[in-house]
Structure 1
Amino acid sequence: MDGSSIMAAGGAASMSPTSPISSRHGAAPKRKRSAGLAGLESSPGSFVDDDHQADGDKKRLPGVKRACNECRQQKLRCDVVQEPFQSCGRCRRLKLDCKIESNFKRIGKRSKHAEMEKEIERLRRNVARAKAQGFTMDIEDEDHLASPAAQTTPYTQHTHTHTHTRNPSLMGSDEAVSSLLHLKRGGSYNVPQYAYDLDGVQLTNEEVTHLFNEYFAFYHPFLPFLNPHQAPDQYYQQHALLFWSIVAVAARRYNPPTSPNFLENLSTPLNRFLWTTIGEVPSSYYVVKAMCLLCAWPLPTSTSTSDPTHILCGVMLKTATGIGLHRPNHIQDFSRVSIELNKEQLSDRVTTWAVCNIVAQNVGTGYGQPASTLYDWTLALRPGDDNALKLTPELEARLQIERFCDKVSKEMYSNASDPRGVAGDEHRAMLMRVYRRDYAELQASILSQRLGHHVNLHLRAAALHMRLAGFFDASTTPGYMDDLMGLWRAATGFLDEVLELNQSKSPGVKSGGNFLQYSTNYIQQMLVAAGFTILKLMRSFFAKTIDFNRGRSLFHATVSAIRRTSVVHNDLQWRLAELMVQMWNGARLENSNPTLDPQDDSPVHVDDSLQLKVRCRHSMSLVFDSVWRWREEYQAQGRGSLDALKQPTNPDSANDSSTSSSHLDSTLAPSQGLTSGILNTNGALTPNATALSATSSAPNSMIGSLSYGGETNYDFFDPQNWMLDGLVDFNYSYAPPLEGA
């Protein structure tokens, strides 16, 4: 039918009762447009007025140029007036936001329906989970949720969400379903209103406030570089990753009744969000702040090989230098646009760069790896500098301490002429004398400033890091016994400081009684190193030169302290404490060591039994060497297991026995109801194994023979995580309760 026939027919042809517009709205019947007019229209929503169309006028009304977004989406007639702007009749009637956007694009119904179906399925799972936690639903609400119309429920509360796959138009539907869930207790209703969401992990404003208060009260003193006076929403606006990183750190000791596995639920989406952000090459230094937090307090992992902290630390430093954080006065050299920083912004970037180096050094020392630090001009202490370039006294002291640790690591364990990187005995003895003098000067300078417990604790940790090189010495090294005594004093001094802080109720220690539960991963690693130091020295000839009873009580307190640092039951810290106890009970020091006989006045027989076989992990070589020896002396012989964890082994729990005896306390035997796997000859856990592998004592096995060469069943050597791989296999079903809380 051509245009003339349409005009001749007038409006009669469009009065058919089957017209879509007529049937849908009950309004005036639709008039068909001429072919010429249809060709001139720019959008499906651009229609002319009825009267002008009936008269054959092909021109639009004055002011009607384009349909509004809502009418364009539905392909409906629109009478919006742009100048002066007047909302169209449909938007006024339906109370919609009438607006015209040049970049508006219609949402396809098919794709929208597919997204809605996925969302409905996800919401149904959320409802099922909510019911399992004690929520109930009204019958009419449940019927409403089962229908597709549930997706159209309006919800206007503002929420902060971050998703990767959902349509933005569907955000807020979780809250729509939450409004249908009622917690019926005593006839009252409690409907949570969630304000923040990360892939289904939701928090109310009250929960966020509580978590941020927890962070700044207990975690912030270990790494004071964030602003405690800034609101949580400001951190979210700066970058969502920084906001959720603070939440993750505070959630380490957070167990709300409605979400007992909160940290477990948060770990997976936060990890995904973290690596997605890194993959997009972040240009915000707020992302660097988030990585600092996640390196200082890593998310719990099931195995040491899955711990990304060392890798994440390298990404953190590279991201910081990539955006010019190390050159804050010349930030425009790293940007496409000119940037001028005020004093506050400049100071914040200098502080962040200093914390990056502090955290990187902690990670390098704690993991026994070379640190990727960069102590450059920006971090140099120069009198007369602009105040914006100066750090707080606490951070400046921490930076000096970590610089000292970096110097020790690079000189002691970065010998290019040695295949393991360890300095020679004579060179190491000379370096030790130099570093002892440097440390004494550093200690005097920092202690005179009275900077607080956290700085003093890291100063003690630096002394332990320096002294642990004594385990690399041969018995013929000049001053060998003096170095061992210095190591003993450094270990006991660090442990005394930690245990005193953990029991302190003074106002200066906000976490009084629970200090260790909030400590950084670095402090926990040094605590383990100090515990193994006490154990190793007390099992040797050196035990005759020290107070054995003091060492025993200190060791028992250390085991208890390590267990308290556990974030989730049966994690790495928990298992290392169990390993220490089994080594202690297996040694039976009081009865098996003849040097402890008070009637024995013979001189101490010095030998090389304290030397390490594992020597590639810097000062942390002691920890990995101790695990190796445990496998050789106890676990490989069927005398120890890490499966007896529901009832942890107590030190000195067994009766008298000799070192060579295969009898141990019954708590050391594998628990029949708990055995999930045992260590095979390549050091991995064998799932569902029922007995310890007999082949582990064979001469060619990795555990039976400590040599690196020769025939072995160990096919792959991972220089970072090979030692503790397989020792961790847990779920996040339990978090140890706060003692004294």
Structure 2
Amino acid sequence: MHGLPVSKLDLAHTDGDTVERQTALNSPTFSRNSSSGANGKKRNLSAVGFIASPESPEDGVDELRCDVVQEPEYIPCKRCDRLSLDCKIDANFRRIGKRHKNAEMEKELSELRAQLSQQASPTILQHPMKSSASTSASPKVPQIPSSIDQYIGSQEAVASLMDLKSGVEGGSYLRGPNGGLLPSRRLEGVILAQDRIRHLFLNFFRYYHPFLPFLEPDKTPDEYYAASPLLFWVIVAVAARRYEPDPTLFTSLAAPVSRLLWATLESVPQSYFVVKALCIVCTWPTPISSTSADPTFMLSGMMMQIAKQIGLHRPSHAQDFTKFKVELREEELKDRVRTWATCNVVAQRVATGYGQPPISYYDWTLGPHSSNESSFQLPEESEARLLIERFCDKVTQTLYSKYADPVGLPNDTERSTLMKLLMSNLQELEARLTTRTNPTSVSTLYLRAAELHLSLSTFFDSPTSEDYKFHLMQLWMSTTSFLETASGDNVSAGFQIHHATNYILQMIIAAGFSLLKLLNSFFANHVDLDYGKKLFRRAIWMIRTISISANDLPSRLAEVLAQLWNSGGAGSRIPKRSNEVVDSSLQLKVRCRMSMSLVYDSVWRWREEFQAKGKGNLESAVSNPTNLNSAAESTASSTIAEPTFAPPAMLSDGNVFGENTNEVFDPLSWTLDGYLDFPFVNYPEATGIT
């Protein structure tokens, strides 16, 4: 440390120096509770090195004073000599009194506050949108001022960062190009100025929030940070997934936000706002390359458990779940009801998308209520999403949870009857939503996903069942309807597919594998083959569009789809015969992942066909994506816009949630990674059935 004698303050001293000082602190002579020494004289020691200030008497501290002799002959001080230290004095050293130093710091702080007040009015510019339709259909998004772009993320900005502890934890300042100070937020090594934070929040509420509308757009970023730093940084991270002003921001934030998440979850009890953060994390998880390292299903369970632990399922009786007195205003009660509904919606989507039993909890709080219980009435859009997911729960409980079957599946006769009943319920739900709530395009997309979730159970039908072809036609219609809705004119519809949730991605993948199966089987003779090929190519494009990291799971599964498509005939009709052959090619060997069994089964088949022959290296294949064979595909591609953005570089380890040292069995990722063999089951061929 410059300006101080090494014999007193050199921080490079050995541990013995540190121990001596600590011993002095703990000794009776230098007790913090005593204002005088053994000789009764008052002592005043500085905070570092116990050097007395000029204003303070130094009697009684001879054992710590520097008694070095410089002239006529340099004699080291006794302390350095005793500790065998190199005793020398910095030529620039001068003593500064503690009071004088504090006065200078207070003066500097006042100057900094004055500079900060001059920067209180930020410049906001209109964000140049890519198309006029997008600009007219959506609110204007401000662009980061160019002055901020000059110092955000630069080494100079990091060097000039000043933590001024102005009463808000995490509050800090960046020195701008003109020398002024601007407020910012910091998470580990990531520093964001307030203007950039506001821009990210606006992006989140414009592009992502429509998929999960439960937060309050009118609240400021500072209000969200005050409520929960985790919620604040989760919003920022999701908004950074496709942040054009700084494409590397999401990669920089992924690991710090993950560490903040797990550090926050260690605390007990949890905050109500942490539940909100988990809702967002489970909706837009951090990209991974292996599902065995995916904690989303586990986090959704924690989300539900924390929500019940703090009493969100009984919002009007919050007092029963805390030792402190709780008095909720009506707006707070409504927000808790909306958050509890969102927890169930998210939990249901996670369960459906991962092919797992649902952990949702639909109780009285989420049931229909009379007009005099306005606090429990959900906003129309939230109610629509909740009703759709309750239907998905009904599908799962009805078609995949039979107690008497080891897999939970009803027999063919029961399934046919149940399918008709559930399809009727779906039609009633759609009519109800259209009449009562006028659902948005996003709600319509979720409704089509629920219909696909129902129809995918057709893959469990036996080819000999009476309604087999009828159910296949329903599956075809559900698949094409969902893909058309997902890939429609999304800008004018209010959403863009590359901002879609993980659940929508999972359903697009399932729809792609559904088309792959149907268009390469006897069923291809009964549908518009060219139309199906066009939709399949569109599904591949959407999956690759949603991918945000090189070699992440969407890009790998898109490659699996493309390879299977080319190897399976790229969609072709079976030659006409007098008696049509109905075979078992549409049957599944993986049968325990509910409606997602199709996806897991298809990946197993890909491994048998490609990896067993040494052609299954996805890492290299993803870098050079497979082109789909077929002239029809090439023609169809001219009508489909390709992505205009490049995904950021892959995360350093492919898994920011920690090292995967104890993987559980997961057929999807283990197959993609080439670890296991699957015990295939042989099904008898069913021929001659019309």
TM-score, normalised with respect to structure 1: 0.66
Letter in 1 for 2:434: L
**1:166 matched residue in structure 2:** none
Q: CA deviation at 1:312?
A: 0.3
- Does residue 488 of the first structure (1) align with residue 472 of the second (2)? no
Amino acid at match of 1:321: K
Give the aligned partner of residue 343 of structure 1.
330
2:235 paired with 1:254: no
Tell me how far apart the structure 2 counterparts of residues 447 and 192 of structure 1 sit (CA, whole Å).
52
Instruction: Answer whether contact 1:245 1:294 (CA < 8 A) is retained.
Output: yes
Using CA pairs under 8 Å that are at least 6 residues apart, name the structure with larger relative contact order, 1 or 2. Answer: 2
Residue 668 of structure 2 corresponds to 723
Select the residue among 555, 579, 583 that pairs with 2:536. Answer: 555
Quickly say closer, same or farther: Cα 1:158–1:384, change in 2 above 3 A.
Answer: same
> Are the counterparts in 2 of residues 47 and 77 from structure 1 also a CA contact under 8 Å?
no
SS in structure 1 at match of 2:623: coil
Equivalent-residue separation in structure 1 for 2:194 and 2:663 (angstroms):
48
Alignment partner, residue 290 of structure 1:
277
Larger radius of gyration: 1
Aligned counterpart, 2:417: 430
Residues in 1 aligned to 2:259 and 2:155: alpha-carbon distance in whole angstroms = 32
Match of 2:202 in 1: 213
Amino acid at match of 1:652: N
Is the alpha carbon distance of 1:606 and 1:244 closer, same or farther for their aligned partners in structure 2, counting shifts above 3 Å? same
Q: Are the counterparts in 2 of residues 460 and 494 from structure 1 also a CA contact under 8 Å?
A: yes
Aligned length: 537
Other-structure match for 1:576: 557
Q: Note the 1:218-237 alignment, pairs <5 A.
A: 218-237=207-226
Does residue 645 in structure 1 map to residue 622 in structure 2?
A: yes
Q: Which residue of 1 aligns with 2:503?
A: 522
Cα displacement (A) at 1:411: 1.7
Match of 2:515 among 524, 529, 534: 534
2:225–2:232 contact (8 Å) kept in structure 1: yes
2:87 counterpart residue number: none
Q: CA deviation at 1:248?
A: 1.2
Looking at structure 1, the residues matched to 567 and 601 of structure 2 have their Cα atoms a distance apart, in angstroms, of 17
2:441 to 439, 447, 453: 453
Q: CA 1:192–1:464 in structure 2 vs 1: closer, same or farther (change >3 Å)?
A: farther
AA aligned opposite 1:517: H
> In 1, are the aligned partners of 2:522 and 2:574 still within 8 Å (CA)?
no
Q: Which of 618, 624, 633 lines up with 2:600 in the alignment? A: 624
Equivalent residues of 1:242, 1:286 under 8 A apart: yes
1:40 deviation in Å?
12
In 1, distance between residues paired with 2:231 and 2:162?
A: 30
Give, in angstroms, the shift of residue 601 of structure 1: 6.0
Q: Of 351, 359, 363, which residue of structure 2 is paired with 1:372?
A: 359
**Are residues 648 and 157 of structure 1, via their aligned partners in 2, closer, same or farther at CA, if it must alter by over 3 Å?**
same
Matched residue, 2:23: none
* 314-323 or 434-443, which deviates more: 434-443
* Superimposed CA distance per residue, residues 669-708 of structure 1 (whole angstroms, 9 cap, x where no aligned partner): xxxxxxxxxxxxxxxxxxxxxxxxxxxxxxxxxxxxxxxx
Amino acid of the structure 1 residue aligned with 2:521? S
Correspondence 1:331 to 2:318: yes
SS at match of 1:195: strand
Give the match for residue 608 of structure 1: 584
1:636, distance to aligned residue in structure 2 (A): 2.0
Alignment partner, residue 234 of structure 2: 245
Q: Report how far residue 67 of structure 1 moved.
A: 8.5
CA contact (8 A) 1:559 1:581 kept: yes
| Residue identity matched to 1:497 | T
Contact kept in structure 1, 2:201 and 2:235, CA below 8 Å: yes
Report if aligned partners of 1:586, 1:634 keep a CA contact under 8 Å in 2: no
Residues 463 and 490, structure 1, Cα contact 8 Å, conserved in 2: yes
TM-fit CA distance, 1:267: 1.5
For residue 644 of structure 1, give the secondary structure of its aligned residue in structure 2: helix
Assess, with a 3 A threshold, how the Cα gap between structure 1 residues 155 and 445 changes in structure 2: closer, same or farther: closer
The one-letter amino acid paired with 2:318 is I
- Kept in 2: contact 1:161–1:196 (CA 8 A): no
Q: Which of these residues, 91, 102, 112, is aligned with residue 99 of structure 2?
A: 91
Q: Does 1:585 align with 2:566?
A: yes
Residue 603 to residue 395, structure 1, CA distance change in 2 (3 Å): farther
Q: Is this contact kept in 2: 1:45–1:76, CA < 8 A?
A: no
Deviation of the 1:93 alpha carbon: 7.0
Unaligned runs of 5+ in 1: 1-19, 21-37, 61-65, 80-88, 99-129, 163-170, 183-187, 656-715, 730-741
Q: Counterparts of 2:33 and 2:230 in 1: how far apart (Å)?
A: 41
Q: Kindly tell me: are residues 361 and 77 of structure 1, through their superposed partners in 2, closer, same or farther at Cα, counting changes over 3 Å? A: farther
How far apart are 1:209 and its partner, in Å? 0.9
User: Structure 1's 653 and 605: CA in aligned 2 closer, same or farther, altered over 3 A?
Assistant: closer
Q: CA deviation at 1:157?
A: 7.9
Q: Secondary structure at the match of 1:338?
A: coil
Contact 1:192/1:204 (8 A) holds in 2: no
Q: For the structure 1 residues 231 and 68, does the alpha-carbon distance in structure 2 shift closer, same or farther, using more than 3 Å as the test?
A: farther
In structure 2, list runs of 5 or more residues that go unmatched.
1-7, 9-26, 57-96, 107-148, 633-661, 675-690
- Aligned counterparts of 2:515 and 2:571: Cα–Cα separation in 1: 15
Contact 1:331 1:339 in 2 (8 A): yes
**Which residue in the other structure is 1:265 paired with?**
252
Offset at 1:386? Answer: 2.1
The Cα shift of 1:594 comes to 3.0
Change (3 A) 1:214 1:728: farther
Cα distance in 2 for residues equivalent to 1:342 and 1:536: 54
**SS at the partner of 2:192?**
strand
Matched-pair identity in %? 42
Evaluate the alpha carbon distance shift between residue 71 and residue 524 of structure 1 in structure 2; reply closer, same or farther with a 3 A threshold: closer
SS of aligned partner of 2:206: helix
Deviations 1:274-332 (A, max 9, x none): 11111112431100000000000001123211110000000000000001111111111
* Partner in structure 2 of residue 669 of structure 1: none
Q: Select the residue among 460, 466, 480 that pairs with 1:478.
A: 466
Select the residue among 278, 284, 290 that pairs with 1:303.
Answer: 290
CA distance in 1, matches of 2:485, 2:670: 31
Flag the 1:135–1:405 CA change in 2: closer, same or farther, 3 A: closer
- The residue type equivalent to 2:464 in the other structure is T
Q: Partners in 2 of 1:383 and 1:242 — Cα distance?
A: 33
Amino acid at match of 2:452: L
Quick one: structure 1 residues 373 and 46, their matched pair in 2 at CA, closer, same or farther if it must change by over 3 Å? same
RMSD: 3.8
Q: Distance in 1 between matches of 2:462 and 2:672?
A: 31
Distance 1:136 1:327, change over 3 A: closer
